[in-house]
Structure 1
Amino acid sequence: MNHVSPRATYLHIPFCVHRCGYCNFTVITGRDDLVEPLLAAIATELSWLDSPCPVETLYFGGGTPTYLSPTHLSTLCEMALKWHPLVSGYEWTVEANPGDLDLEKIDVLAAQGVNRLSLGSQSFRKEKLTLLERDHSADDIRKCVELCRQAGITFSLDLIFGTPGETLAQWQTDLEQAIQLEPNHISTYGLTFERGTQFWNRLQHKELIPVAEELERDMYLLAIDMLTRAGFGHYEISNFARPGHRSRHNETYWSGRGYFAAGPGAARYVDGVRQTNHRSTTTYLRRIQQGRSPVAEEERLDDVAKAREALVFGLRRIAGIERTSFEAQTGITLETLAGDTVRRFVDLGMLTDDGQRIRLTREGLLVSDALWPELL
């Protein structure tokens, strides 16, 4: 693998008004007193680069970056640009909650150069938003979209399907309303019950009943069919984009390229070493303030491990993996790495293989999470 400086950076802002019941991300609530110390800590972590590293994509995730005040948002943008100046033709994405994005905040983001927002819309249906413990309404989503248009910022919508009690017709209505807003990008995710979340606990106590597996499959296939008919290219398992509007930052991950990161719980991949910062915001802060590394986990990948990751990430993309480019990227042939497994999945109807390229079939897309452990 080539050792080149990453061309992408991720910054994690953990603050949220409330932790939603399904959320398993690094989040902190009710601690506004930590906003300024955290921004100072991220600035310190970035300064350990020693010199600025230009990037093509910058991504602020969370948590909820737009939870920050306009002043703090501006500070965050300026310190990110100080250490990661953006090259011409860049993509700069900020995750936003429709419940707290207003004109003043979007003006700050636009003035700093942000050109893409990822809106955590999840649904347009009141009952579903209430179940998901979201603090916004369908009208809030529409207002955010209008603010984006006025500011000249492109936007992506996140949608969740398969919530308890949801019908296929209700999911179809969510998709229709999303399409009507004419985003350039839509991400769809089946609801998962992650251990340690409130939803997991409620599942154990039979307070929440998951939708039937067959219905969840139908919902996913409906999304593929409706979105492709509406002009979106299905380019990754969960992601759909109009031409020229794929998430270039996320494609960094799926193509196995390196990336910088800072903030609590943030993961970076530089020179074949994967590091993840401590998930606790207070522990992250304490370590930075003491001049200690915030890294909680570190893994140096050998060539075979890198190739296996490239295989799994590559198969997440609808285009799949081209054999010669895979060998050029990893130094290992697909046949050597996983020939028998690939043939077995082809026989099972999960993969197609035309001799040049392997890719997931429609059936493979539906069960992809079950395939990855066998390839890794």
Structure 2
Amino acid sequence: MTPRAAYVHVPFCRRRCGYCNFTVVAGRDDLVPDYLRAVEWELRRLRTPREVDTLFFGGGTPTQLAPAALDRLCRLAREWFPPAAGCEFSVEANPADLDGDRLDVLQAAGVSRVSLGGQSFDGRKLRVLQRDHDGSQLQRAILRCRPRFASLALDLIFGVPGESLNGWAADLRTAVAARVDHVSAYGLTYEKGSLFWSRRRDGRLQPVDEELERAMYETAIDELTAAGLEHYEVSNFARPGHRCRHNEAYWRGAGYFGVGPGAARYVDGWREMNHRSTTTYLKRVLAGQSPVAERERLAPPDAARERLVFGLRMLEGVVRVEFAAATGFEIDELVGSALRRFVALGLLEDTGDRVRLTRAGLLVSDALWGEFLN
């Protein structure tokens, strides 16, 4: 089946945050013209436009692009991924970048959903995270976006060194008071290759303890659901009608197109990933060479296991009959032993027709997936 979702990776940032190990380049806006040419080259390889139900610009920081470049990227994407009626068009944005010109470009392009990489409203916490905005800038960005876009999402990070449970609760309550439509709440991770990983290894950065981090996650669940947001995926909460449909395509095992450095795609059973290095990606594409660094076709049992794990991230879980129809495998023949053990431990609930995480399972979900995938 032809994918109905498309992702465009924009690698540019003003600076790299200490916790980031994504495919980004900081302070290299001189590469933007080549980037736009490379993206157009990739898109033309599609040969014909592909109508989509969701289009997502991620990064990096898409709004780091100057208004003219941002407009060019939007036009290219809409030409080759024409939005179907009701298409969700999402763009990740940095609060410090959202001036009137960029907002005008996004609105004119038909963007329906802006996702703000706010991370916190607290100045001390933002400085630790090495963000380039403060709490008042984030509040202003929310106010500027609200009348222009149908849906407004906000990323928040918890478990930051020096953060208290009360401080985290204050972030959540501020987000609720700001009437955002969607909140993604992530525990701070120390990814190899990031500055924070090096500082933690050297003892210069002390993570919060696991008990406090767990309490912070539970506080997010309690505060956000009490405010009327549905907890629909491990880290994601939405007001009715405001789930991220693009990410739901991933979690439900649907195919998707991907363009740009480090972008992944899943088309006709083949999974590909472009070169993560922006300069390598540009050199290859502008020389007329494929940007693909990795390509694999998962064996049917492996594809089914992966689909199960992604599906279990959703709070509604996985319906047995739907899973069997989509994959050709029964859940029990793939992971029966591990499933029974996790049910006995109270981490999963098995109703007979559906399998889903329990509240206890949500707290340790990442520790479960390895047994399902192997």
> TM-score normalised to the size of structure 2?
0.99
- Once the two structures are superposed, residues 281-305 of structure 1 have per-residue CA deviations (whole angstroms, 9 ceiling, x without a partner) of 0100011011111111111012111
1:358 partnered with 2:355: yes
Q: 2:36 aligns with which of 36, 39, 47?
A: 39
**For 1:370 and 1:292, how far apart are their aligned partners in 2?**
39
2:11 and 2:261 in contact (8 A); partners too: yes
2:4 and 2:52 in contact (8 A); partners too: yes
SS in 1 for 2:146: helix
1:165 and 1:211 in contact (8 A); partners too: yes
Count of aligned pairs:
373
1:272 and 1:302 in contact (8 A); partners too: no
- Once the two structures are superposed, residues 118-165 of structure 1 have per-residue CA deviations (whole angstroms, 9 ceiling, x without a partner) of 000000100000000000011111111111123234210000000011
Q: 2:280 aligns with which of 263, 267, 283?
A: 283
> TM-score normalised to the size of structure 1?
0.98
**For 1:373 and 1:138, how far apart are their aligned partners in 2?**
38
1:328 partnered with 2:340: no
**For 1:20 and 1:270, how far apart are their aligned partners in 2?**
32
SS in 1 for 2:322: helix
SS in 1 for 2:169: helix
Unpaired runs of at least 5, structure 2: none
* RMSD, aligned α-carbons: 0.7
**For 2:29 and 2:117, how far apart are their aligned partners in 1?**
21
Q: Which residue of 1 aligns with 2:10?
A: 13
**For 2:121 and 2:244, how far apart are their aligned partners in 1?**
23
Summarize the alignment of residues 304-323 of structure 1 with structure 2, pairs less than 5 Å apart: 304-323=301-320
SS in 2 for 1:308: helix
Q: 1:293 aligns with which of 290, 293, 307?
A: 290
Q: Which residue of 1 aligns with 2:95?
A: 98
- TM-superposed deviation, 1:306: 1.2
- Once the two structures are superposed, residues 249-303 of structure 1 have per-residue CA deviations (whole angstroms, 9 ceiling, x without a partner) of 0000000000000000000001111101000001000110111111111110121
- TM-superposed deviation, 1:32: 1.4
Q: Which residue of 1 aligns with 2:25?
A: 28
Q: Which residue of 1 aligns with 2:129?
A: 132
- Once the two structures are superposed, residues 188-228 of structure 1 have per-residue CA deviations (whole angstroms, 9 ceiling, x without a partner) of 00000011110011001111101010000000000000000
Q: Which residue of 2 aligns with 1:205?
A: 202
**For 2:49 and 2:299, how far apart are their aligned partners in 1?**
28
Q: Which residue of 1 aligns with 2:300?
A: 303
Unpaired runs of at least 5, structure 1: none
**For 1:279 and 1:179, how far apart are their aligned partners in 2?**
36
Fraction of identical pairs, as percent: 57
Q: Which residue of 2 aligns with 1:112?
A: 109
Summarize the alignment of residues 1-376 of structure 1 with structure 2, pairs less than 5 Å apart: 4-376=1-373
SS in 2 for 1:44: helix
**For 1:125 and 1:152, how far apart are their aligned partners in 2?**
25
- Letter of the 2:307 counterpart: A
